[in-house]
Structure 1
Amino acid sequence: MKDHKKKNSLYVYKHIMKFFLDKYKSIPNEIALVEHSYGEPQNYITYDNFFRKVSSFSHTLNTYEGKGIESKKYNEKQNNGIFKLLGIYGSNSINWLASDLSAMMSGVTTLVMHSKFSIDVIVDILNETQLEWLCLDLDLVEGLLNHINELPHLKNLIILDTLSKNKEINLNKEENNNDKKNKSSGNSTSVKGNDLSNMIEITCSGPLEYDKEKLKKYNELKKKCEKCGKKLMLFDDMTKTQTKKFTIKNEDPDFVTSIVYTSGTSGKPKGVMLSNKNIYNQLFSLYNHSVRERYSFKNHLSYLPISHVFERTFAYSILMYGGTLNVWGKDINYFSKDIYNTKENIMGGVPKVFCRIYTNIMTEIDNLPSPKRRLVRKILSLRKSDHNGPFSKFLESIFHISKKIKDKVNPNLEIILSGGGKLSPDIAEEFCYLLNIKYCQGYGLTETAGAILGNHADDEHFEYIGGPIAPNTKYKVRTWETYKATDTLPKGELLIKSDSMFSGYFLEKECTKNAFTDDGYFKTGDIVQINDNGSVTFLDRSKGLVKLSQGEYIETDMLNNLYSQITFVNFCVVYGDDSMDGPLGIISVDKYLLFISLKNDNMLEKTGVTEKNYSEKLIDETLNETIYIDYVKGKMMEIYKKTNLNRYNVINDIYITSKQWDTTNYLTPTFKIKRFNVFKDFSFYIDAVKKKYEEKLSGSSTGSMNNGERCEKKDDIKNGSDNENKRISKSQLNGLNECAIKSEEEDVLEEVQKALRKYEEKNITQGVQKQLRRSNGTSMRKAREGSLLNSNERENDINGKRYIKETVPEEQQVNA
């Protein structure tokens, strides 16, 4: 933890608005934010104009109709129970961030909700909090009006959309402006950071030009609101009174400045209370981090929901560093163009986004003419085997493959920062070689105000999520079932204590109490391993670890990531429980990419799929026919064979769906999977597979099941004296014969591998470990394979139920 140890033990608290204002005063004419539309920069605002807008709305929040937002008393310990609440419910925009900072300045607590929350969730939150003021997007108003009779407390609705345009962006004076900046800053490098400001000539376009369609919609909704006794106002109208009087109210470090509602992956969203001190410690731990010191945070494309704490802290950081925040155009068809036009050197994102970019690149490579495709793959393979060493750089200097790919994505890209989940190590490594960039993984939650653990600039391990970012972070693990805190490399549930840790869930005292241990550590619910150097390896969510009927644990999140590497797979959701011999998978596929894969594998004639009919042909009913099931399982088996996972991780039962997955059904705003929603909607298939295992226990001979069809299979399980021999279909035999049958020799080999792993963890130097990982898989993955119930635990688990220790859990602490 070299990056961590060099820091001071504590920061001296200062309200972060003071840092924003100091930066504003030093660079008033630099571009602060740019909004993109249809792949081009559309609206922009300088630091001077932006913070004037912030100051103006802050004044409105305190003085509107002579009283502003009124205080309310709540049954809450924080803020002595007194809160002024401003709801923010919208997508990324200049005005979203302006309203957020205005509230922070005026002592008003923001109540932040994801724009993709269902209307029922929003109604519940508004009523529970008795919210009166709400900033929201124009497109979201109608949904609220449909439930207006259920919202007795709501009074003022403020539209964040900008309905007028009076500025244009002219890119013709780059050279003169660059000369001007180079004189003042001494910087003559190529376009980086907020050099966008040097490329822009601000020209007035005369009278205000209104978006007629939006204006008409606004006027219609305003009349509807008036009939309901509600007020509908424009944010821009409420900031017309310009003021430069910046008065910061309530600088108390423990003042709850924001309540952020979680994305609700495991149930009802909860309001996470974050204080001034929480946000301050988060931002300054990032500011002093080696990644920030090595790579300038001067330009960023904001495309993840800014209501999510990961993106929000990113936006704050850009303004602290005097950079330019680019807001994407909210049109996925222009997303690639937004990335290219922004020219950001640092790209933050979640695993699903990077997986999709990676898949698109690999699809383009697959579509190259055969000789060129083989050449590209060979060179990339050689570079990977050299681990980006001298030979790798020599190959790149000759063929420029990474440069050619990178020039199409973003020629300025230097590093990607992944959060909000774990990116598959294999994809992360491939991604780095494809684009010749650095990869850093971070770990954090809404409750930690953002990233709490992360790689430092010199980390080369794709398996790790690094160590503590903040100097006052303490972390430890406590034993969770078979994951032991007393192991040589401690494993178990991650517990964290930090100054960036939240104070509790708003109006949820029981949830708050259950979220912490008796000694004040937050229970993350994540199962991790603490490595020798203090870094952390993420294993799975505790809810994602399931035990099969043999007592074997499988990591469903790991399997989800593993099989999502297949180019045409959008999402893989693995299910298993203690009544099943093996897991099943719900596979969401992309129709077009599946068509391309079928085409490349000469499967079009067999399936009858053509370029004209693939969209109509590749529907759920057709996809769960044997030919597609065998094809997809074959692809999954190809991925599986590249791992050192045991046979319990083979998925024999799959259901394929091409239906749209989005935030209205199975995804959170940050593209995490709402697994319980998936399990509920696909329960018809899960129940059918479970019934198969029930019949097996009662003596019936059954096999893998897809869309009601029973396929015979064979799985020779060595578990005590219980051996069963079953038949296997020809199609399954082709895909599983090398992995499904476990011989005695393989059992012996597995034991040898366990011993090797123990030796590797204890005695082998880091350099030798790398060599072993290249040939035998990573030590982390092997350690996961060895997490088996011991014989005593099996005796206590004869009914197939989850074994949970009733004694006080062992803990292994690392004080950073």
Structure 2
Amino acid sequence: MEPMTDSKNLLECVYYWEKKTPDRVYFTQPMGGGDANVKTWTWKEAIGEARRMATYLKSLDLPDRSHIALCSKNCAHWIMADLAIWMAGHVSIPIYPVLTADIVRYLLEHSESKLLFVGKLDPVWDEMKKGVPTDLPMVTFPLAPPNDHEQWDDIITKYEPITDPAERSPDEMATIIYTSGSTGIPKGAMISFGAMLQGAKGITNYLKTHADDRMLSYLPLPHVIERWAVESHSIYVSFPLFFTENIDTFLQDLRRAKPTLFISVPRLWLKFQLGVFQKIPQKKLNQLLKIPILKNIIKMKILKEMGLNQVRFAATGSAPIPKEIIEWYRNIGLELLEAYGMTENSGYSHCTKPGEVRPGYVGSPYPDVEQRLSKDGEVLVKSPCNMMGYFKMPEKTKEAFTEDGFLRTGDLGKIDERGRCKITGRAKELFKTSKGKYVAPAPIENLISTHPLVEACNVSGSGYPQPYGVVMLSDEARGAFKQGEKSAIERELTEHFNFINSHLAAYERLAFMAIVKDEWLPENGFLTPTMKIKRATIEKAYGPLADRWYNEKKSVVWER
């Protein structure tokens, strides 16, 4: 079945599949208890529930185009609620399920949300809900924490399916996607129905995806990558979506889905790799992969264990990824396609073409996307999926675009002879050493992150003679440290430190790497909900220790 090519929005695609393939399974959702309790929804069932919820939303007599928030881990009900909001004539406001109460309060108040859907959430919800206004109505999904609010299942039992859903034009706002706030207060990017549809069409044409593909939805749906490449994409093409139960069942959920398309972020690709190394040491694996008679068997076994043996397109995005990671995955038979996009262009910007991967480059723009560099080397992008602007921030909106409509990405880059773009750093992340040299931290952090003992890092050094790195150890390394292997870890990281500096210009070379005790998580504010480091938080936490670390005059120092 071919997609509805003349559709004006994703809702028209939904109605098309509801009619053409009513009995085809769309969602597969673990409901607690693993394989013994998995629920599926056909297109008819899923859209039927969305229609019933839309009738309920209409019954509330909210003003047209009201803003309705969604806060839940990924699940079938998240997407059904999103569709119901649109059918009822409103605008959806996704909220990450791991935020502080202050940010939750800010988002709900800034977005002017009139109602909140709440779903699958960790115990952190006990803290988050302190930011929810007491007078804000709430509807809860079946997998939500126990509560006394309106229940999804009760509502869809009580209300009939909506038969006259709202007409939504391509130019009107469908959703507000808030940025992760890695450099300050989150900004709300207003995304139109036309942009969401065009992004879905574009990726479908680029990857030649079809109804027999499969995806696992696990990156946060409030993030633009998941919203575009998973939700919108699956609605346009009609391929089935699978969801995860929890972090402990991730591999089981992945093997159930058998995805043919898989997207992850660098930190998770690194975790997958470290998981392999825990079962078979890196040096031994490298030796086995050199044996002709064994290498193909080993590759297939690794990919099958990871649940990725049926993947035909694997992508990485959201942050730079070390070329060594790309090369390692290629060596086991999985080519990672680097992708690049922003909340402000719905994620639809650049992607490496299969067979044309150049490590360190995010690929070429999609065919209907234009790119160029400013005189200062900033990457400028004109995408059909560019945002309408920032909600209630006209000055920020004006700053975000050039006079001829190109989005200012804030990323510095260069373009090779084949049009592939390399991101060399964030313009606002550059810092100046006491020697007067400007340093871009991201490329150095990429080098640091190539070691399996390193899970995350941050390079600083403004006002000091040389930069320095702050390192969070991997789970494996933290376990080894607790078992008294500090000296062995220090030896390995000292070797890595020397390797890093041998690949850097003199003014970029690290004075030291500092190993810290904290685990950086979204919950404690060191990472954004999309797993990016929060530089300001890290530098505030460890900056006061820098003088002491410099004075130790060692390659590897430890937080006491």
TM-score normalised by structure 2 residue count: 0.90
Q: Give the letter aligned to residue 292 of structure 1.
A: K
Structure 2 counterpart of 1:590, one-letter code = S
- Answering whether residue 413 of structure 2 is matched by residue 516 of structure 1, we say no
Asked if the contact 2:70–2:116 (Cα under 8 Å) also holds between the matched residues in 1, the reply is yes
Q: Tell me what 1:329 maps to.
A: 245
Aligned to 1:695: none
User: 2:18 is matched with which residue: 24, 42, 62?
Assistant: 24
- Please give the alpha-carbon distance, in whole angstroms, between the structure 2 residues aligned to 1:92 and 1:355: 22
Distance 1:396 1:25 in 2: 51
Is the contact between residue 28 and residue 39 of structure 2 (CA under 8 Å) also seen in structure 1?
yes
CA distance in 1, matches of 2:367, 2:158: 40
| Cα distance change on mapping 1:594 and 1:134 into 2, 3 Å | closer
Q: What letter is aligned with 2:379?
A: L
How far does the alpha carbon of each residue in 1:609-664 deviate from its partner, in whole angstroms, 9 at most, with x for none? 7xxx52xx58xxxx6xx8865542223324555xx432444323222123222112
Larger Rg, first or second structure (1 or 2): 1
CA distance in 2, matches of 1:396, 1:249: 61
Q: 2:470 aligns with which of 586, 590, 597?
A: 586
Q: Alpha carbons of 1:705 and 1:326: their partners in 2 closer, same or farther (altered >3 Å)?
A: closer
Residue 161 (structure 1) aligns with: 142
The structural deviation recorded for 1:147 is 5.1
How far apart, CA to CA, are the structure 1 residues paired with 2:130 and 2:193? 36
1:130 partner amino acid: E
Aligned partner (choices 631, 634, 637) of residue 498 of structure 2: 637
Q: Give CA-to-partner distance per residue, 1:142-198, whole Å, 9 cap, x none.
A: 5466456xx37x4311112347xxxxxxxxxxxxxxxxxxxxxxxxxxxxxxxxxxx
Whether the 8 Å CA contact 1:688–1:705 is kept in 2: the answer is no
For 2:261 and 2:527, locate their aligned partners in 1 and report how far apart those are by CA, in whole Å: 25
Report matched runs for 1:187-198 at 5 Å.
none
Q: 1:359 to 1:553 in 2, by over 3 A?
A: farther
Match of 1:478 among 362, 366, 374: 374
Residue of structure 2 equivalent to 1:388: none
Aligned counterpart for 1:273 among listed residues 173, 185, 190: 190
Classify 1:627/1:297 alpha carbon distance in 2 versus 1 (closer, same or farther; 3 Å). Answer: same
Structure 2 counterpart of 1:430: 328
Return closer, same or farther for 1:319/1:703 CA change in 2, 3 Å cut-off: closer
Contact between 1:299 and 1:344, CA under 8 Å: does it hold in 2? yes
Structure-1 residue corresponding to 2:535 = 675
CA displacement, residues 425-466 of structure 1 (integer Å, 9 cap, x when unaligned): 2211111212x1222111111111123111123323223211
Residues 109 and 478 of structure 1: CA distance in aligned 2, closer, same or farther (over 3 Å): same
Q: What RMSD over aligned residues (CA atoms) do the two structures have, in Å?
A: 2.8
Selected match of 1:284 from 197, 201, 211: 201
Superposed displacement of residue 19, structure 1: 1.3
The equivalent residue for 1:45 is 41
CA distance in 2, matches of 1:285, 1:705: 47
Q: Does the alignment pair 1:85 with 2:67? A: yes
Residue 658 (structure 1) aligned with residue 523 (structure 2) = no
Offset from partner CA, 1:220-276 (integer Å, 9 cap, x none)? xx2xxxxxxxxx211222222464555342422221110111111111111110011
Distance in 2 separating the partners of 1:62 and 1:459: 49
Deviation string for 1:88-108 (max 9, x for gaps)? 122111111111011122220
- Cα separation, 1, equivalents of 2:254 and 2:559: 44
Contact map agreement 2:183 2:534 (CA 8 A) in 1: yes
1:675 CA displacement: 1.2
Match of 2:269 in 1: 354
Q: Which residue of 1 aligns with 2:54?
A: 58
Whether the 8 Å contact between 2:329 and 2:335 is mirrored in structure 1 is no
Q: What is the 5 A alignment of 1:554-703?
A: 554-577=439-462, 579-590=463-474, 592-593=476-477, 614=483, 629=490, 631-638=492-499, 641=502, 644-664=503-523, 665-688=525-548
**Does the CA contact (< 8 Å) of 1:689 and 1:705 recur in 2?**
no
Distance 1:413 1:499, change over 3 A: closer
Structure 2 vs 1, CA of residues 396 and 234 (structure 1 numbering), >3 Å: closer, same or farther? Answer: farther
Aligned residue for 2:318, secondary structure, equals: coil
Distance 1:381 1:93, change over 3 A: same
Alignment map for 1:409-424 (pairs within 5 Å): 409-410=306-307, 411-424=309-322
Distance in 2 separating the partners of 1:551 and 1:459: 38
Residue in 1 that maps onto 2:235? 319
User: Is the 8 Å Cα contact of residues 633 and 652 (structure 1) preserved in structure 2?
Assistant: no
Percent identity between the two aligned chains: 21
* Compared CA separation, residues 594 and 707, structure 1 to 2 (3 A): closer
Distance 1:429 1:296 in 2: 30
Aligned residues of 1:138 and 1:159 also touching (Cα < 8 A): no
Give the equivalent residue in structure 2 for 1:96: 78
Contact 1:52–1:243 at 8 Å: present in 2 too? no
Give the C-alpha shift of residue 283 in structure 1: 1.0
Moved more, 124-133 or 336-345: 124-133
Distance of aligned partners of 1:297 and 1:237 in 2 relative to their CA distance in 1, 3 Å threshold: same
Give me the whole-angstrom Cα distance separating, in 2, the residues matched to 1:428 and 1:506.
37
2:342 corresponds to which residue?
445
Deviation of 1:408 after TM superposition, in Å, equals 1.4
By how many angstroms is 1:379 displaced? 5.2
1:125 is aligned to 107
The 3 A distance-change label for structure 1 pair 241 and 538 is: same
CA contact (8 A) 1:688 1:708 kept: no
Unpaired stretches in structure 2, ≥5 consecutive residues: none
Query: Equivalent of 1:298, from 187, 190, 213?
Result: 213
> What amino acid is aligned across from residue 372 of structure 2 in structure 1?
K
- The letter for the 2-side match of 1:32 is Y
Question: What is the CA–CA distance in structure 1 between the aligned matches of 2:329 and 2:323, rounded to whole Å?
Answer: 10
Q: Deviations over 1:320-376 (max 9, x none)?
A: 22221111112x222222222221122111111111111222333317xxxxx54x4
Tell me what 1:401 maps to.
298
Aligned amino acid, residue 323 of structure 1? F
Q: Residues 595 and 131 from structure 1, CA distance in 2 versus in 1: closer, same or farther, beyond 3 angstroms?
A: closer
8 Å CA contact 1:319–1:325 kept in 2: the answer is no
Which whole-Å CA distance do the structure 2 matches of 1:266 and 1:566 have between them?
27
Q: Residue deviations 1:574-606, cap 9 Å, x none?
A: 1122x222111111013533555xxxxxxxxxx
Distance 1:463 1:380 in 2: 24
Which of 63, 68, 82 is the aligned partner of 1:70? 63
Query: Aligned in 2, Cα 1:462/1:144: closer, same or farther, shift over 3 Å?
Result: closer
- Cα distance change, pair 551–39 in 1 and its aligned pair in 2 (3 A): farther
Question: CA, structure 1 residues 324+679, in 2 after alignment: closer, same or farther (shift >3 Å)?
Answer: same
**Does the Cα contact within 8 Å between 2:338 and 2:362 map onto a contact in 1?**
yes
Structure 2 distance, partners of 1:335, 1:52, is 29
Contact 1:456 1:466 in 2 (8 A): yes
Shift of 1:530: 1.2
Given that 1:576 and 1:584 are in contact with CA atoms closer than 8 Å, whether structure 2 keeps it comes out as: yes
On the 8 A contact 1:297/1:346 being kept in 2, the answer is no
What amino acid is aligned across from residue 101 of structure 1 in structure 2? L
Q: 1:38 to 1:647 in 2, by over 3 A?
A: farther
Give unmatched runs, 5+ long, in structure 1. 1-10, 72-82, 164-213, 223-231, 368-372, 383-394, 481-491, 597-608, 693-700, 710-816
Secondary structure of the residue aligned to 2:349 is strand
Within 1, Cα distance between the matches of 2:212 and 2:439? 39
CA contact (8 A) 2:348 2:385 kept: no
In the aligned structure 2, how far is the partner of 1:359 from the partner of 1:593?
Answer: 11
Please tell me whether the aligned partners of residues 120 and 143 of structure 2 are also in contact (alpha carbons under 8 angstroms). no
C-alpha distance in 1 between matches for 2:296 and 2:168: 56
